[in-house]
Amino acid sequence: MARPPPLEELPRCCHTPPIRSVAPQILAGSLKAPLWLRAYFQGLLFSLGCRIQRHCGKVLFLGLLAFGALTLGLRVAVIETDLEQLWVEVGSRVSQELHYTKEKLGEEAAYTSQMLIQTARQEGENILTPEALGLHLQAALTASKVQVSLYGKSWDLNKICYKSGVPLIENGMIERMIEKLFPCVILTPLDCFWEGAKLQGGSAYLPGRPDIQWTNLDPEQLLEELGPFASLEGFRELLDKAQVGQAYVGRPCLDPTDTHCPPSAPNHLSRQAPNVAQELNGGCHGFSHKFMHWQEELLLGGMARDVQGQLLRAEALQSTFLLMSPRQLYEHFRGDYQTHDIGWSEEQASTVLQAWQRRFVQLAQEALPENASQQIHAFSSATLDDILHTFSEVSAARVVGGYLLMLAYACVTMLRWDCAQSQGAVGLAGVLLVALAVASGLGLCALLGITFNAATTQVLPFLALGIGVDDIFLLAHAFTEAPPGTPLQERMGECLQRTGTSVALTSINNMVAFFMAALVPIPALRAFSLQAAIVVGCSFVAVMLVFPAVLSLDLRRRHCQRLDVLCCFSSPCSARMIQILPQDLGERTVPVGIAHLTTTVQAFTHCEASSQHVVTILPPQDHLVPPPSDPLSSELFSPGGSTRDLLGQEEGTRQKAACKSLPCARWNLAHFARYQFAPLLLQSQAKAMVLVFFGALLGLSLYGTTLVQDGLSLTDVVPRGTKEHAFLSAQLRYFSLYEVALVTQGGFDYAHSQRALFDLHQRFSSLKAVLPRPATQAPRTWLHYYRNWLQGIQTAFDQDWAAGRITRHSYRNGSEDGALAYKLLIQTGNAQEPLDFSQLTTRRLVDEEGLIPPEFFYVGLTVWVSSDPLGLAASQANFYPPPPEWLHDKYDTTGENLHIPAAQPLEFAQFPFLLHGLQKTADFVEAIEGARAACAEAGQAGVHAYPSGSPFLFWEQYLGLRRCFLLAVCVLLVCTFLVCALLLLNPWMAGLIVLVLAMMTVELFGIMGFLGIKLSAIPVVILVASVGIGVEFTVHVALGFLTTQGSRDLRATRALERTFAPVTDGAISTLLGLLMLAGSNFDFIVRYFFLVLTVLTLLGLLHGLMLLPVLLSILGPPPEVVQMYKEGPRVLGLATPQGGRLGWGASPTLHQNFARVTTSMTVALHPPPLPGAYIHPASDEPTWSPADSGSSNFGSRANH
C-alpha cells in the first residue's frame, strides 16, 4: 500500500462548477445582525481550530503541562470537618453571634459530652426495673473505668472529667483531699441510688481510716471527725448551702444484697428492691441536692404517667459523662509534676481525650452480652468527628471504578468497524483528559484557599466527569461526521466552527449556575459550588483547546491508515478516501458503491447595501439526485437544506478497499432518531400525548412540592445499620433535648437593667419548647442564684446583728455569711470614700422589689463568685470579663479585707435553658422564632441579648432557605435567558429554553417530595445547578433547529437527527459518572446526590429529546435564512476561462454596488467581512482558482 502524503502537502479540495446553464437556487432573506455576529464568532472558532490542528503537538504538550502543574495544588488541599465552619451561614447574625461568643470566651465549649442510651431489645418494653438498671450500671461502670496509656502516663476518668465548682479551701490537707474526691459531673439515673457512687473514681486517704470513696463517704460524719483537728466552719457552711447531706450513702441500693450497701441506705435493713419508677419520679440529684438536679427528661425517654402525673414506665435510660475540653485539660495539667517531662501541649491534651472517648464507646457497646434483654448505644464527640472524617475521605476504589467504567463506555461507544472512522483511542484520551481537568480544577481551588468538604470529595469528581465527557462526545461526533469535501487541514476548524457555540453555551451556563448556587450562604455548599464552577471551567478549557489537539493527532492516524487504539499497526480494513469533483461526473453517472453523495460547491453571496438583502447563487444540482427512499431526504440533504451543520451525519456507506461493514454496523443513534424516533414523535397524535404527559407530570410535581419538608438531621448523614446510626435514632426518638443559652452582651448597664433581665428570662422560659423547671426548683440562672445568695447572707447578718454577734465595729463573732454581709453593706462604690459603716442598718443587699442596689452590684458579684463556687458553676454564667478573685478571711485584723474590688462591667453572661420536643424542622423554626422575638422585646428595653446553641447554629438557615432558593433560581433563569439570547441571538428560542428549564426544576423539586427527600442547603444547590445542567440537554437541539431551513417539523427532525446521539451519549456518561455514588456507604450520598442527580439527568433527557422538539415544532422561531426559488436565464451567466482558470460570472444586469464573497457554503453576510474571508473587488467577472480558494481558508463557512 502506497504511503499517503503528509497532511501539509495535500492539495485543498476545491470543486469546479459544471459548465451548464440551468435555473439555479437563490437563497434570500432579510439581513440580520444576529446572523452576522454568530458567523463572526464561528469564524473565530474556525481560526482557533485550524491553528490547534497545525500545532497539535505543541498544544497538547503545553496543555498537559499546565493541567499537571495545577494538579499539584492538591498537595495543599485542606479538608474542613468542623460543623460550625461548614454549616453556619456566612455573614449571618448567627455567624456574628458565634464570633462574639468566641471573642469573649475562646474557641471551645466548657465541656464535651459522652452519652450512653439503653433501650430494650423488644420495642416498647418497660425499662424501669432493678434488672434493667443493673445492666445500665454494668455498662456505665465498664465505661467509667476506661484507662488509656499515652506519653508514658495513665489517663482515667477522674483525671479528665469535668468537675463543676471545686471550692477553694485555705486548709491544705482538706484542699488536697477535696481535689481527689470531688466528683465528676455525670448525669445518670443511677444517681437516684447508692450505686451512682460507683461511677465516681476518686479516693482519699486519712490515717486510721479505710480509703475514702463516694461509696463509703458520709460528708457530715467526716466533718464531725475532722472538726477537732481543723477549722472547717466555712467548708461546713458550703456543704450545707449545697445541701450535700449524706451524699450517696443516704440513698437506696438497687441491690440491697450487695455486701457494700451502706447501713445508712433506706432499704439496707429491709433488703427489698426499691420501686424504680417511684425513685426516678421528679428526676435525680448529684452529690448536691441544690445545684445538681437532673430532670427526668435528661435521664428517661418514652415516659408514661398516671392521671396524677406520677411516673409509671419508660422505654429508655440515658447517662451523660462530661469531660474537660482540650484547652481545660491542658490548663489543668500545665506545670503539674505529672506532665512536666512530656512537653505537655494542647494537641497532646486533645489526643488524650479522643483516645479515651473512642475506648469509652468501644467498651460501653461491648459491656452487655449479645443475648441480654437490653442494648447499649454509646456516642461521643470523637465519634462525630470520626464520622465527619470518614464522610470527607476520598474513596479511591469508587473514583477509580467510576473512571474505568467511563473509559470503557467511551471506548466502546466510539469504536467502529471501519478503522478509519473508529475513535476508541480518542474516547479513552478524552475521558483521561477530563479526569486531568477535574484534578487540575480541584488543585486550583486548593491554591485559591477554598477548603474541601464531604461534598467535594464524595460527589464532585463523579459529577464533573459526567458533565465534562458530554462535550467530548459532542466534538468527537462532529469531527467524525465532517461535511464531505472539507480539506484535511481545516477539519478541526470545521469541527469547532460547528460545535464550539454549543460547547461554549453549555459550559458558560453550567459555570453561571454553580456560581449562582454560591449565593446559598452555607460555607460547605458555597465551597462546593465555587469548586464545581472552577472545575467546569477547567473542563471547558480542556475540551476547547487540548481535546482538539487529540482529535488532530487521531486524524493523522486515520490518514496514515493505522489501527485504532493499536496505532502502531496498519489497518487491513481502512476506508479509501474518495474525492469527486463535479466535472468528474458524467451525464448520469455516480461511482459504484456510493449510495448517497453530498458535495460542497463554490457559491457567490451578493450583498446590496441599499436593499439590505442577501442573494446567494448556487450551481445546478441535477446530477446529484438523492435516493428516493426517504421522503424527507430531498430537504434534509440538499446543499441548501441547512444553514449550519451542527453534527453532520453521512449515512451512506463508502466503498471499501479490502472489506465491508456488517449490516448491523450501519445502525446508529442518528439513524434511529431520523427513521424511527422523529417521525413517530412529530405526528399530531404523538405531540398531543407528549404535551398531555408533561402537563400531567408538571401538575403532579406541583403537588409534590407541597410534600417537601425542610430539614437535615445527623441520622440522614450517618450510614444506616451502624451503631452510630442506632444511637442517633434512639436519641432523636427518646431524648430530643438541646442545651441552649440566652447570652447577654455588653453595651448596657447590668446593674440598672435587672428588671429587664428578669423579664427577659421570664419571656424565654415561657416558650413552648423550653423545658420548665420543677415547681420546687429555683430558676437556674446566675442572676437568681446571685440574688438568692445575697438574701441568704442578709438573713444571716440580721440574725447575728439581732443576737449581738455582729456590731458596728466587729463581725468576728458572727457567722461566715454574716461577716460577708457586713463587708458588703459598708461598701459605697465611691473610690474616694469606699466604706460607710452607717449603712449597716439603713441599707439592704436586696431591696423590697427583689433588685440588687446598683452601687452593690459589681462589688457583690466579686464576693459571690469567690464565695459560692457551686452556685456559680450551676448557673453556667461564663462571665466576661471574669470578676477578680477575692478570699474572705473572717479573722483578718488589718482591715485590708474590708476593701473589695468591684468587678468590671459585664460584656458577656448567659442564662442556660433546655429545649425539648424538637422533632421536626418546623419545631426548631418555631422555637427559634420565639427566642428571637423574646430577644427583640428585650432589645426595646435596652438589653442586648441573643440565643446560642446548636439549634440556632444549624437550623436558623431554614428561616430563609426557601426564599434564598427561589431568589437563586429566578436570578439564574434570568441569567440563562440572557446568556442564551446573547449566544443564540434569538430571544424567542432563549425563552423556550428557559421555559423547559423552569419546568425541569419544578418537576425535580416535586419528585423530591415523593421520594421523601427533605429540603436543606444540599438539595437547594442541586436544584439551582439543575438549571445549568439542564442546558446540556436543550441547547444542542435548540441550536440545530434554529439553524436549519424548512418547515418546523422538518427542522425539528433534522435537529433530532444531529443531536440525538451526542445528547444520549452525554446522558449515559453522566449516569455512569453518578453510578459510583450508588455504592457509597453513606445513605445520605445515595439519597441526596445519586437519586436527585439521576432523576435530574432523566428529566433532562426527556425534556431535551421529547418536550423541546414538540414545542419547537409548534412554537419554534422561524429559520434565520429563508429559501426561495427563482428561474431565469439572466440570473447567472457563464464566465469564460481566463488564463486556464474557470470563473463564475455575475449577470451584467447586477448593480455595481454589490459586494461578492467567494465561499464554499451558503452564508448570509454583510460588510465588514468575517475573519479569513476573501473579498474580491467589485468587477463584472470574478475569477476563481485553487490559490484563491486557499486564501479564503474557509473562514466564511459559518453554515448559516
pLDDT, average across residues 849-864: 91
pTM: 0.72
**What is the dihedral sign for C-alpha 577, 581, 583, 587?**
positive
Query: What per-residue confidence (pLDDT) applies to 400?
Result: 77
Residue 586 has pLDDT above 50, yes or no: no
DSSP 561-605: TBPSS-TTSB-TTPBPP----GGG--SS---TT-S-------EEE
Q: Poorest-confidence range of 304-313, 503-512, 631-640, 941-950?
A: 631-640
Q: Poorest-confidence range of 13-17, 175-179, 856-860?
A: 13-17
pLDDT, average across residues 380-397: 73
Query: What per-residue confidence (pLDDT) applies to 1152?
Result: 40
pLDDT band at 173; cut points 50, 70, 90: low
Say whether 862 sits in a helix, a strand or coil.
Answer: helix
pLDDT band at 384; cut points 50, 70, 90: confident
pLDDT band at 84; cut points 50, 70, 90: confident
Say whether 1002 sits in a helix, a strand or coil.
Answer: helix
Q: Poorest-confidence range of 137-146, 602-611, 681-690, 724-733?
A: 602-611
Q: How far apart are CA 878 and CA 886, in angstroms?
A: 18
Residue 1142 has pLDDT above 50, yes or no: no
Q: How far apart are CA 918 and CA 963, in angstroms?
A: 23
Name which residue leads in pLDDT, 539 or 467: 539
Query: What per-residue confidence (pLDDT) applies to 568?
Result: 63
- Reported residue count of the chain is 1200
**What is the dihedral sign for C-alpha 1124, 1125, 1130, 1131?**
positive
Query: What per-residue confidence (pLDDT) applies to 795?
Result: 92
Name which residue leads in pLDDT, 1099 or 1152: 1099
Residue 91, classified by CB atoms within 10 Å of its CB into exposed (0-12), middle (13-18) or buried (19+), is exposed
pLDDT band at 422; cut points 50, 70, 90: low
Query: What per-residue confidence (pLDDT) applies to 320?
Result: 92
pLDDT band at 512; cut points 50, 70, 90: confident
Q: How far apart are CA 292 and CA 162, in angstroms?
A: 14
Say whether 707 sits in a helix, a strand or coil.
Answer: coil
Name which residue leads in pLDDT, 505 or 377: 377
Residue 714 has pLDDT above 80, yes or no: no
User: Hey, which residues does 1176 pair with through a beta bridge?
Assistant: 1156
- Long-range contacts for 634-641 (Cβ within 8 Å, ≥24 apart)? 635/1045, 635/1046, 635/1050, 636/674, 636/1050, 636/1053, 636/1054, 636/1057, 637/596, 637/598, 639/598, 639/599, 639/600, 639/601, 639/1162, 640/25, 640/27, 640/1045, 640/1123, 640/1162, 641/1044, 641/1045, 641/1046, 641/1054
pLDDT band at 886; cut points 50, 70, 90: confident
Q: How far apart are CA 456 and CA 1085, in angstroms?
A: 12
pLDDT band at 743; cut points 50, 70, 90: very high
pLDDT band at 123; cut points 50, 70, 90: confident
Q: Poorest-confidence range of 32-36, 606-610, 986-990?
A: 606-610
Q: What is the mean pLDDT of the chain?
A: 77
Residue 593 has pLDDT above 50, yes or no: no
pLDDT, average across residues 195-217: 82
Query: What per-residue confidence (pLDDT) applies to 1189?
Result: 36
- Percent of the chain at pLDDT exceeding 70: 77
The winner for highest mean pLDDT among 105-109, 119-123, 577-581 is 119-123
Q: Poorest-confidence range of 223-227, 234-238, 541-545, 666-670?
A: 666-670
For the segment 232-248, what is each residue's pLDDT rounded down to a tens digit? 666 777 778 778 888 89
Q: Poorest-confidence range of 385-389, 535-539, 966-970?
A: 385-389
For the segment 470-499, what is each residue's pLDDT rounded down to a tens digit? 788 888 878 877 777 778 788 888 888 888
The winner for highest mean pLDDT among 500-504, 789-793, 1151-1155 is 789-793
Residue 1002 has pLDDT above 90, yes or no: yes
Query: What per-residue confidence (pLDDT) applies to 1110?
Result: 94
pLDDT, average across residues 8-26: 37
Q: Supply 105's cell numbers.
A: 470566651
Instruction: Say which residue the cell 417539523 belongs to.
Output: 1049
